[in-house]
């Protein structure tokens, strides 16, 4: 059968070599003019060829695998819609976590598309550039599949109608927005450190894995499928990010302190952003498979520390202060963030509620040192007020952190006073700025010119840039329908719709 004998195929290494080394050296333009951002951050690269994709991904295998992933995903989304599977979720409260995801996280994916497209153009090495292009396409896929998956819920529930505008305007969404803006206005090497390393490697698992597993636990197979489909790309991104960081560190010892500062900054910024996820996991999932504290133990105390240990040989040090803060806060974070949102749901694009007795018991069990002592009594007080018809909504605008844009609602946990609110301040050009934490103050003080430009929702509201100064005026500008998209879950049109769905 010699006629059918196939030619021996190239092995992965050879194939990668032939399929990715497609660049050229500029001859009639100066290299600095073609790659204008390579030097601005002080990073020195001597040999771009030294970076190689650890997966040795080439475009042909990339398209094949991604097409397979998408085919699987869309067949599950179709089945979900055909079977009216929104009826099979644990409870309609769950849908509010998806609203937060669609308005908070999905637009971030799009920011990352822009960032990686820029980085792909800015980098000199073809291997690195191609990997960044593929990642940009991945992130676009994540953005699209998330919007497609959740569009099904939009047929039944409120709050999904204008996620893009919401992301640009609504006060708490300035938290993810400022994170994405900060990263994508940095130079190419800082962007890579921020997203590939700190966000992808250290934090995406915290975001996607327990939350998506939680979606499965609450009967939402459509969401778990997009989550895992996206996260399988993320695990490739994590590996690329780590190898890119090692490459930068190996190229020149002068790169080490610069990269260290970025790693510290972005670990903190990413962690603060995930405060939203802490609350989603512990409060917004009716059935929670894993607590925020348990996730911190696996992904920060185990994984993140192992990761830094691997980088010690390059001169990188574990940011001990940050890690200690994360560990100290792990028993408090989700409760404090939920408290902030419960008080401000009158201006949010989703509903909140107080945990029922069963949920409170779960929280006591998962947080034996903190929940009963600090948070259960507070929540029981809120429930008493609700019963008397005096459900409390804050009518004032919070002071928010100049760096992370989270309201100053955290307490002095590390100082041993978890019941006392605390914050930090700093002065720049004769003006005073406020921060939620030492970490955010530190980030600000390294680059005050950047963060003084932050678009802070309360300031903008008072300056008359958000439709007016009263809550109804601002809500209108947000495109949030008062009494429909916001306020308590109990008594909302969502609740009514859910009851109707369940009784048919």
Partner 1 sequence: MSSSVALLCLQATEDGRAIAQAIKEDNEGVIITNKPAMIQIEREGRIEVNASTVSEVLGREWDPEELQLVLISLGGQVEEDDEQFVVYWDN
Give me the residues that bind Fe ion (CB under 5 A), please: 109, 139, 142, 234, 237
Tokens 């100064």 belong to residue: 469
Shortest spacing between CB 203 and Zn ion, in angstroms: 16
Q: Answer yes or no whether residue 302 interacts with partner 1 by CB under 8 A.
A: yes
Q: Which pairs from 308-314 meet CB under 8 Å and 24+ separation?
A: 311/245, 311/246, 311/249, 314/246, 314/249, 314/250, 314/256
Least CB distance to partner 1 at residue 21 (A):
19
Q: Considering only 300-308, 363-371, 379-387, 473-481, which stretch makes contact with partner 1 by CB under 8 A? A: 300-308
Q: Which residues of 347-376 are buried (b: 16+ CB within 10 A; e: fewer)?
A: bbbbbbbbbeeebbebbeebbeebbeebbb
| Strand partners for 421 | 411
Please say which residue, 268 or 489, places its beta carbon nearer to Zn ion. Answer: 268
Cα 87 to chain centroid distance, Å, stands at: 28
CB nearer to Zn ion: pick between 328 and 497 = 328
Q: Is residue 337 a contact residue for Zn ion (CB under 5 A)?
A: no
Query: In the window 192-221, what residues touch partner 1 (CB under 8 A)?
Result: 204-205, 208-209, 212-214, 216-217
Cα–Cα distance for residue pair 47/452, rounded to 1 Å: 37
Identify what 237 binds: partner 1, Fe ion, Zn ion, none; CB under 5 to 8 Å per kind.
Fe ion
- CA angle 169-174-179, nearest 5°? 140
* Residue 237 C-beta: closest distance to Fe ion, Å: 4
Report the candidate in 295, 267, 280 with the shortest Cα–Cα distance to residue 404: 267
Q: Is 187 left (phi over 0), alpha (psi -120 to 50) or beta?
A: beta
Give 1 or 306: the residue with its C-beta nearer to partner 1: 306
Q: Which is nearer to partner 1, 311 or 475 (CB)?
A: 311
Residue 100 found at the interface with Zn ion (CB under 5 A)? no
Q: For Fe ion, which is the closer residue by CB, 227 or 457? A: 227
H-helix or E-strand spanning residue 412: strand 411-412
Please enumerate in sequence order all residues whose Cβ is within 8 A of that of 329, keeping only pairs 6 or more positions apart, or say none.
410, 413
Q: Pick from 175, 401, 413, 443 the residue near Zn ion by CB under 5 A.
A: 401
Q: Which is nearer to Zn ion, 448 or 468 (CB)?
A: 448
240-269: which residues touch partner 1 (CB under 8 A)?
242-243
Using CB under 5 A, which residues numbered 431 to 460 contact Zn ion? 436, 440
Contact 145, 129 (CB under 8 A): no
Q: Roughly what angle, to the nearest 10 degrees, separates helices 59-82 and 126-154?
A: 10
Q: What is the DSSP letter of 407?
A: B
Q: How many residues bind Zn ion (CB under 5 A)?
A: 5
Q: How many residues bind partner 1 (CB under 8 A)?
A: 44
- Regarding 312 and contact with partner 1 (CB under 8 A), the answer is yes
Q: Of the candidates 4, 11, 27, 504, which one interacts with partner 1 according to CB under 8 A?
A: 11
- Chain positions contacting partner 1, by CB under 8 A: 11-13, 54-56, 61, 65, 68-69, 72, 204-205, 208-209, 212-214, 216-217, 224, 228, 231-232, 234-236, 238-239, 242-243, 289-290, 298-299, 302-303, 305-307, 309-310, 312-313
């Amino acid at each position: 059968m010699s006629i059918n004998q196939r030619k021996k195929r190239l092995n992965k290494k050879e194939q990668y070599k032939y399929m990715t080394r497609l660049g050229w050296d500029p001859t009639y333009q100066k290299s600095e003019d073609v790659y204008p951002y390579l030097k601005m951050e002080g990073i020195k690269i001597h040999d771009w060829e030294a970076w190689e994709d650890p997966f040795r991904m080439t475009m042909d295998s990339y398209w094949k695998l991604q097409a397979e992933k998408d085919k699987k995903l869309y067949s599950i989304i179709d089945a979900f819609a055909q079977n009216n599977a929104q009826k099979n979720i644990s409870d309609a409260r769950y849908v509010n976590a998806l609203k937060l995801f669609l308005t908070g996280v999905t637009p971030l994916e799009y920011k990352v598309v822009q960032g990686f497209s820029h980085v792909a153009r800015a980098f000199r090495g073809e291997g690195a550039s191609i990997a960044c292009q593929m990642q940009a396409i991945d992130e676009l896929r994540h953005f699209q599949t998330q919007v497609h998956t959740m569009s099904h819920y939009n047929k039944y529930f409120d709050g999904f109608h204008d996620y893009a505008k919401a992301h640009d305007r609504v006060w708490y969404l300035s938290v993810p927005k400022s994170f994405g803006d900060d990263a994508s206005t940095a130079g190419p090497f800082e962007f890579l450190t921020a997203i590939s390393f700190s966000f992808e490697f250290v934090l995406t698992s915290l975001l996607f894995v327990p939350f998506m597993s939680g979606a499965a636990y609450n009967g939402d197979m459509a969401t778990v499928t997009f989550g895992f489909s996206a996260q399988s790309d993320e695990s490739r991104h994590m590996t690329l990010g780590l190898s890119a960081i090692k490459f930068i560190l190996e190229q020149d010892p002068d790169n080490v302190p610069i990269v260290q500062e970025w790693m510290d900054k972005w670990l903190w910024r990413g962690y603060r952003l995930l405060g939203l996820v802490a609350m989603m996991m512990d409060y917004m999932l009716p059935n929670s498979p894993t607590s925020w504290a348990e996730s911190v133990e696996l992904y920060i105390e185990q994984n993140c520390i192992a990761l830094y240990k691997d980088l010690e040989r390059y001169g990188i040090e574990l940011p001990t202060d940050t890690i200690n803060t994360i560990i100290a806060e792990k028993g408090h974070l989700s409760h404090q963030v939920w408290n902030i949102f419960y008080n401000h749901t009158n201006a949010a694009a989703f509903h909140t509620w107080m945990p029922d007795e069963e949920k409170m018991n779960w929280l006591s069990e998962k947080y034996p040192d903190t929940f009963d002592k600090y948070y259960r009594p507070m929540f029981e007080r809120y429930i008493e007020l609700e019963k008397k018809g005096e459900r409390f909504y804050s009518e004032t605008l919070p002071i928010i952190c100049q760096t992370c844009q989270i309201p100053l609602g955290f307490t002095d946990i590390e100082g041993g006073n978890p019941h006392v609110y605390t914050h930090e301040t700093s002065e720049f050009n004769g003006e005073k700025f406020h921060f939620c934490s030492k970490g955010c103050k530190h980030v600000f003080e390294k680059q005050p010119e950047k963060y003084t430009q932050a678009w802070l929702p309360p300031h903008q509201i008072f300056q008359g840039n958000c439709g007016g100064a009263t809550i109804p005026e601002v809500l209108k500008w947000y495109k949030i329908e008062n009494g429909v998209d916001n306020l308590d879950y109990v008594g909302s049109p969502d609740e009514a719709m859910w009851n109707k769905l369940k009784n048919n």
